[in-house]
């Protein structure tokens, strides 16, 4: 693994270069041997990421463009999101996101999930490359914001919208 710092992306440039209809994960950290995952996500105006929770990892969310709101589960007060807002999403916390009238672009960062293994391999044989996807945004309908139970949905079971690229 390379231990030299390097520029991986210029997020403002990625957002500026994205087409207006581009939504979801616009960029993902994909360096081999890393211990972090990161995703640049853009939601169109009014789009939602339905209520969900991360059971294993804390997540840091940094708003880059637009505005919106984060609604914690359990009836807690709605939290406004605007550029430069940094939000800590502790593991097991329930939340949903809603983009404002100008859409919402944000970066999420969390510890990388360990790779999956079958059986009880010796510790030296367990690899941490691969594993689960860094997030489930590819399962969130771009039209209605519902999360599909399928691992690679082609159409939303709620509104019938076709998932991009499928």
The pLDDT of residue 45: 94
Greater pLDDT, 71 or 162: 71
Residues with Cβ < 8 Å from 138, sequence gap 6 or more? 24, 25, 152, 163
Q: Domains of the chain: which residue ranges? A: 11-113, 136-166
Smallest CA-to-CA distance from 101 within 21, 46, 49, 41 is with 46
Smallest CA-to-CA distance from 135 within 102, 111, 105, 159 is with 111
Contact 81, 104 (CB under 8 A): yes
The pLDDT of residue 1: 58
Q: How far apart are CA 98 and CA 79, in angstroms?
A: 11
Count Cα neighbours of 100 within 13 Å in the Cβ-side half-sphere.
16
pLDDT in tens, 88-124: 999 999 999 999 999 999 999 998 876 554 544 444 4
pLDDT in tens, 40-65: 999 999 999 989 888 888 999 999 99
For a pLDDT cut of 90, what percent of the chain falls above it?
45
96-100, 130-134, 142-146, 160-164, range with the lowest pLDDT: 130-134
* Assigned CATH topology for domain 11-113: Jelly Rolls (2.60.120)
Question: Is the model's pLDDT at 165 over the cut of 60?
Answer: yes
Distance linking the first and last C-alpha atoms of the chain:
34
Question: Is the model's pLDDT at 130 over the cut of 80?
Answer: no
């Amino acid at each position: 693994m390379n231990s030299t710092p390097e520029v991986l992306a210029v997020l403002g440039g990625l957002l500026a270069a994205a087409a207006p209809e581009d939504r979801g994960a616009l960029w993902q950290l994909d360096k081999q041997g890393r211990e972090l995952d990161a995703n640049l996500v853009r939601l169109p105006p009014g789009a939602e990421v339905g209520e969900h929770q991360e059971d294993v990892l804390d997540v840091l969310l940094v708003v880059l463009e637009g505005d919106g709101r984060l609604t914690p589960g359990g009836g807690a007060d709605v939290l406004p999101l605007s550029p430069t807002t940094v939000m800590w999403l502790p593991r097991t916390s329930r939340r949903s996101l809603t983009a404002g009238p100008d859409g919402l672009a944000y970066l999420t960062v969390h510890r990388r999930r360990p790779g999956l293994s079958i059986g009880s391999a010796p510790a030296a044989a367990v690899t941490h490359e691969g594993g689960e996807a860094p997030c489930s945004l590819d399962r969130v309908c771009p039209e209605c914001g519902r999360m599909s139970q399928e691992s690679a949905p082609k159409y939303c079971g709620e509104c019938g919208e076709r998932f991009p690229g499928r």
